[in-house]
Structure 1
Amino acid sequence: MKYEELSRAALIKLLQDHDAERLESGKDGIVLNYTGRTAPWQIARQVKPRMCEINKRASVGDAAEEAVNELWDGENLAAMVTLYKYRGQVDLVLTDPPYNTGEDFRYNDKWDKDPNDPDMGDLVAKDDGSRHSKWLRFMTPRLWMMREMLKPGGVIAICIDHRELYRLGMLMDEIFHEENRLGIINWQKTTPKNQSSKLSLTTEYVLVYAKSAELAKTGLVERSALADARFGNIDNDALSDWKQGDLTGKGASKLANYAIQSPFTGEFHNPGERHWANKRAAMKKWLEEWGVDYEDFDIGDGRGKALALKGWAASTESQRQKLLAKSQSTSSKRLEQGGWPYLYWGVDGQQKPVRKVYKSLVRQGGVPTTFWLDDDEAPPAIDSVSWLRTLSGRSRDGIEELDAVVGKGHNFETVKPLRLIKKIIQIWCRKDGIVLDPFAGSGTTGHAVLELNKEQDASRRFILIEQGNDAKGDNYAKTLTADRIKRVITGKWKSGEREPSGGGFRYFTVRREKVDANAVNALAREEMMDLLLVSYWDRNDKTKSYLRRLPAGGYKHLFAVNNRDEGFFLVWSAPDEPSALTRTVFKEIIQEAKAADLAGRYHVYAALAPYTGNDIEFYQIPDKVLEHIGFNARADAYNNDGGMDAD
């Protein structure tokens, strides 16, 4: 029997048995249990896609630019369900949910029975005895949907503080599974403060999980301009630019504890309490590249035999002066020649021995490790990670960055710093990938994507979701989130003109009406176009399926084009008007396509299609529209108490 033939009760029993099997096998380990707990898939499947509309005045950029990125104004669970075409297409979910501090988390008790209720609910107080179970009930279906949005190799990075860290960790282990945990970033949000009675809370956390650890890729952080500025080529080395590096390694070593003699000054240099990091044979080879021969000689310093100028051991004091003068002449000529050896003695030959670190041989980035100390020496492991405030930014930096863009008075007291968010994006989202932030807040994620695209010549896309009703009822998705992104794009910051990042976004408003056949058939033409622009996707190329809308009123049927310059036509004037692709209508479509200089394939939306052809891609209204938005009338019946029973 097929799954779609099972009754609602039978499907639920099947999934519950599957969960029980995973628990018995130990694959899920410990599972949280709390008041009102419901399996996340049971909640998420009750949520219906919503009707939506494009706010043209709040959108930014020309038609092509605004089609790339999306900002959704509405409840994030409903918005993610409505974003069906992106399911399984997102590279990185990066988000900062409410922390349950008694000041920022709201819960609507109606969600326990109907997760479709769009109201935010009341603030959950610090002394609410069920605050933790409410937070878990709120987060569980949303995390499930975030997982559904990810590609098979996608990654989620979710910010949290100490209040819900342990519960979130267990919930993430349950939904994403422990074996897919990539690491925990512990970042320093502020400097320590003197507190006599308790610990100073200076850090917050980012939990990083993959949908599948085997498929996920951890990238390198591109080198900063400051790191690149350390490199130069004052000696015209043919290999590449280079910077100064240390010849020694940490700790003592008997075999690598000896002195080497400078061919310029005759001084003997030893590694001190460290050791030479390269083999003795290599050290001798690099020394002799200065045109001077070396030999082993015990100088009586209690270390191993030194590498001394050849003939030094058997020479008298006067002979050593002549030997050194000859060495100085030879090595000085080599210094003037340029293209110095790997081991060198400073730009004037008078310094202690150092080595060259070639830019061409250095990885052009670094994977973070504990404290992320050095761009060039970062090992490939992540695991548990600490990032100092100098490397990830402070919370105060985030607030100051927001102040600079939109001005003060925004009432945001906690804003993630751009440096932290940009690092995470660089590591886990490819340059042409999609970043989703379901708790967009002030829009830091969108700001970071735009800056990175400009800095790296990348084409990452963002999808931001924010409902944003605070205690005063301010819908700051429009007044703050969209305003910040718009100012970054245009360069019109409150603190003064900046270089525009470029780009654009569409601003969508999630409506209360659920999507079904009756709702689709009742739409006016402009509303229908909005829905088609949201829902359309190409089965063969979902990631580039967005349509570029054409100016309203320019054509009777043509309303959009895709990235292949193929036209999309809507045969729909009003709900009570005929909607049929006839031969006469198709002739009109051909003329419009020629006038717009479009490719010869026609994508046509209509209720009926008496006329067909090989070059016509027909999308029936409402069936194809509902399919593209993930609505299945038969499956939807399973969500109702009077669900369908199998015979």
Structure 2
Amino acid sequence: MMDYELLPRAALIRMLQEHDQAMREAGKDGIVLSYTGRTAPWQIIRQVKPKLHKIVKKFSVGDESHQVHNELWDGENLSTMVTLYKHRGQVDLVLTDPPYNTGEDFRYNDKWDKDPNDPDLGQLVPKDDGSRHSKWLKFMTPRIWMMREMLKPSGVMAICIDHRELYRLGMLMDEIFGEGNRLAIINWQKTTPKNQAQHITITTEYVLVYAKAAERATTGHVERSKLANARFSNADNDPLSDWRVGGDPTGKGASPGANYAIQSPFTGEFHDPKERHWANKRAQVKKWVEEWGVEYEDCDIGDDRGKALALKGWSQAKTERARKIILAAAKKAAQARLDKGAWPMLYWGIDGQQKPSKKIYRTLVMQGAVPQSFWLDDEEGPAELDAVSWLRNMSGRSRDGIEELDSIVGKGHGFETVKPLKLIKKIIQIWCPQAGLVLDPFAGSGTTGQAVIELNSETEAARRFILIEQGNTDKGDHYAKTLTADRLKRVLTGQLASGKRNPLPGGFRFIELQREKIDADAVNALAREEMIDLLLTSHWDQADKAKSYLRRLPAGAHRHLFAVNSRNEGFYLIWDDSEQTSVLNRDAYKRIVAEGKAAEVAPKYHVYASIAPYTGSGIEFYKIPDSVLEHIGFNPRSDAYNNETSEEKADA
């Protein structure tokens, strides 16, 4: 806990005012969650400082043009999110799977009560720990608060959980996001029922979905795959659009007013809906069949159904010869319409000899399938988002997730809490736009990253991801290295444990969070390559913020030029020796201009240096360490650029 006795009076008053305001905001919907040892999340986050970090090329995958879009961070997630200042307020979807507090998957460090910067993961919290729920809430509260801070105003958070902490997590989400911003509580079938349970077999888990602001969030459609789109063609040169063959014109179940036969103008055969019913109104169906150039009438054909739609004159034709004449005329007209093309909505197969089918136009379903309790067939068309139960054929099972991981990295990984790809892909498709950014602070084995990579390939999307994972440091096992990065690398290269497959486009930067906090002294002490890593991950400009990606140029190719942005403008670093002051003078400017011309970059020079007594044409100067610290989130008007305490200063 914070030592309030050491704080000055002004700081205490400000904290009390902020606390009262936070409680008022939290209590707007009547939800304020209280538990032992609770500290306001903003008070905890205020103590968390950005950390130094470096890009580890050994674990990064892809060329620079692909690496810049995705990041895999090895580090404690709260510190990492604070360090990811350039992405704050820029994330479209937070999708994550935190520890469920099962007694086997959650660790808590008691030191976090006083110092949330402590890097130790702490001890495993067992099932018989009477304070396990309070510890879990103390752990989750600042992290969920920070995840919300990372979201865009239109952003959405989807968090997985099971029955153990469902109620507490729901109350916590209501408090932080507001009950009115809850979009869904999805329960998905993780396994098939088993008969060994004493009471009720638990076969489902949950995904709580909240918007940062419900009125600005968008619930999208499930994107259609290339294979699904390939089912559409245009056999009749219909000017409206391509359409899918074989659409079912009937609906499920019987309906007395829609239970009748329709006569084919080609064969004279009567077709009824069997145990179903015609999905469209009778007047609409009659209009469609008459567009074949044939008139229809109501006719009782003695089939114990409603009056059939028969060729006009059929009811009055008493002889076989008379009916043959009617059918011949109808067939001639219908065949002419078939040969002409651009057939009516209701058609009789591409040769006219089949049962009635309904065209499903590509333009009506290209927006995708609407998410609902059951996956819709393509021909069902749009529907309202109305329910939240997903069967295993729509979301996959937990066992599927483990088998998917086995096939990629091989067995023996020891990771038993893997979400199925189908579930994660579905959530991404619904709540992250095609060019959006997904953040997963509890990345685990990297299912979210794989889902983004595969969806980009399958649907020609351009989503990006940021994954954060640390793993069990007590055993020296950082999952980010041994499992997460390995999985993503195999997915991208096609080198799966189960066999080779075609590589997929994409890549990622592997970034390792250091234990040292960032301050002016730490920045000034960096070696050149360490400084470049920091600039590559932290630089942003006001116009683009999180999209301000810098593409690293080959190391050692230039003395100053180290990267270019999306506009092909060069970024230059004057930092030959961290023990000497870096100066942008006339000679350095001449070298920079020459390097830019040689590299054929745009004549806009973004220069990082300690001082700049000379500013030539086209220079954008970034002062070290001030600009670096501001890009990481330090406020020069209120934050000390050095992290040393008053006691440390006195000792010095």
TM-score in terms of structure 1 length: 0.92
For 2:304 and 2:552, the matched residues in 1 are separated by: 80
C-alpha distance 7-597 of structure 1, shift in aligned 2 (>3 A): farther
1:537-578 Cα offsets, whole Å, 9 max, x none, are: 111111321211222222222222211111111112223213
- Give the structure 2 partner of residue 46 of structure 1: 47
C-alpha distance 77-380 of structure 1, shift in aligned 2 (>3 A): farther
- Give the structure 2 partner of residue 472 of structure 1: 475
1:234-245 matched pairs, under 5 angstroms: 237=238, 239=240, 240-245=242-247
Q: 1:306 aligns with which of 305, 308, 319?
A: 308
Query: Match for 2:73: what amino acid?
Result: W
- Give the structure 2 partner of residue 609 of structure 1: 612
Query: Match for 1:248: what amino acid?
Result: T
Query: Match for 2:124: what amino acid?
Result: L
Root mean square deviation of aligned Cα: 2.7
C-alpha distance 228-6 of structure 1, shift in aligned 2 (>3 A): farther
1:266 Cα offset (Å)? 4.0
1:424 Cα offset (Å)? 1.4
TM-score in terms of structure 2 length: 0.91
Q: Answer yes or no: is 1:362 the counterpart of 2:365.
A: yes
- Give the structure 1 partner of residue 578 of structure 2: 575
C-alpha distance 619-429 of structure 1, shift in aligned 2 (>3 A): same
For 1:632 and 1:68, the matched residues in 2 are separated by: 27
1:227 Cα offset (Å)? 3.8
Q: Answer whether contact 2:93 2:437 (CA < 8 A) is retained.
A: yes
1:333-372 Cα offsets, whole Å, 9 max, x none, are: 3586274433234456555433222233334411211122
- Give the structure 1 partner of residue 225 of structure 2: 224
- Give the structure 2 partner of residue 181 of structure 1: 182
Q: 1:430 aligns with which of 417, 430, 433?
A: 433
Question: Which range moves more in the overlay, 336-345 or 578-587?
Answer: 336-345
- Give the structure 2 partner of residue 457 of structure 1: 460
For 1:235 and 1:27, the matched residues in 2 are separated by: 59
Q: Answer whether contact 1:372 1:378 (CA < 8 A) is retained.
A: no
For 1:361 and 1:54, the matched residues in 2 are separated by: 46
1:381 Cα offset (Å)? 4.0
1:473-552 matched pairs, under 5 angstroms: 473-552=476-555
- Give the structure 2 partner of residue 389 of structure 1: 392
- Give the structure 2 partner of residue 326 of structure 1: 328
Q: Answer whether contact 1:237 1:338 (CA < 8 A) is retained.
A: no
1:431-469 Cα offsets, whole Å, 9 max, x none, are: 222111111111111111111112222221111111111
1:157-212 Cα offsets, whole Å, 9 max, x none, are: 11111111111111111111111111122111122222352322221111111111
- Give the structure 2 partner of residue 116 of structure 1: 117
Q: 1:595 aligns with which of 577, 593, 598?
A: 598
Aligned-pair identity (%): 69
Secondary structure of 1:98's counterpart equals coil
Q: Answer whether contact 1:181 1:210 (CA < 8 A) is retained.
A: yes
1:125-164 matched pairs, under 5 angstroms: 125-164=126-165
Secondary structure of 1:617's counterpart equals strand
- Give the structure 2 partner of residue 399 of structure 1: 402
Q: Answer whether contact 1:183 1:383 (CA < 8 A) is retained.
A: no
For 1:566 and 1:357, the matched residues in 2 are separated by: 48
Q: 1:623 aligns with which of 623, 626, 638?
A: 626
1:273 Cα offset (Å)? 5.7
Query: Match for 1:263: what amino acid?
Result: P
Query: Match for 2:319: what amino acid?
Result: E
C-alpha distance 131-582 of structure 1, shift in aligned 2 (>3 A): same
Q: Answer whether contact 2:569 2:602 (CA < 8 A) is retained.
A: yes
C-alpha distance 318-169 of structure 1, shift in aligned 2 (>3 A): same
For 2:333 and 2:64, the matched residues in 1 are separated by: 65
Query: Match for 1:451: what amino acid?
Result: E
1:477 Cα offset (Å)? 1.0
Secondary structure of 2:536's counterpart equals helix
1:313 Cα offset (Å)? 2.6
Q: Answer whether contact 2:266 2:353 (CA < 8 A) is retained.
A: yes
For 2:350 and 2:66, the matched residues in 1 are separated by: 51
For 1:361 and 1:383, the matched residues in 2 are separated by: 20
For 2:601 and 2:324, the matched residues in 1 are separated by: 85
1:641 Cα offset (Å)? 9.8
C-alpha distance 51-640 of structure 1, shift in aligned 2 (>3 A): closer
Question: Which range moves more in the overlay, 324-333 or 622-631?
Answer: 324-333
Q: Answer whether contact 1:77 1:142 (CA < 8 A) is retained.
A: yes
1:197-251 Cα offsets, whole Å, 9 max, x none, are: 2322221111111111111112211223554455455556554232223333455
For 1:270 and 1:387, the matched residues in 2 are separated by: 33
- Give the structure 1 partner of residue 5 of structure 2: none
For 2:398 and 2:60, the matched residues in 1 are separated by: 29
1:311 Cα offset (Å)? 1.9
- Give the structure 1 partner of residue 588 of structure 2: 585
Query: Match for 1:27: what amino acid?
Result: K
Question: Which range moves more in the overlay, 97-106 or 353-362?
Answer: 353-362
Question: Which range moves more in the overlay, 337-346 or 282-291?
Answer: 337-346
1:473 Cα offset (Å)? 3.0
C-alpha distance 315-379 of structure 1, shift in aligned 2 (>3 A): closer
Q: Answer whether contact 2:265 2:330 (CA < 8 A) is retained.
A: yes
C-alpha distance 294-481 of structure 1, shift in aligned 2 (>3 A): same
For 2:428 and 2:440, the matched residues in 1 are separated by: 12
Q: Answer whether contact 1:73 1:507 (CA < 8 A) is retained.
A: yes
Q: Answer yes or no: is 1:262 the counterpart of 2:264.
A: yes
For 1:580 and 1:12, the matched residues in 2 are separated by: 42
Query: Match for 1:119: what amino acid?
Result: D
Gaps of at least 5 residues in structure 1 are none
Query: Match for 1:583: what amino acid?
Result: R
For 1:594 and 1:229, the matched residues in 2 are separated by: 47
For 2:608 and 2:231, the matched residues in 1 are separated by: 58
C-alpha distance 384-207 of structure 1, shift in aligned 2 (>3 A): farther
Q: Answer whether contact 1:253 1:274 (CA < 8 A) is retained.
A: yes
Secondary structure of 1:34's counterpart equals coil
1:13-43 Cα offsets, whole Å, 9 max, x none, are: 22122134336xx523222111011111111
Shift >6 Å, 4+ stretches: 637-643
- Give the structure 1 partner of residue 4 of structure 2: none
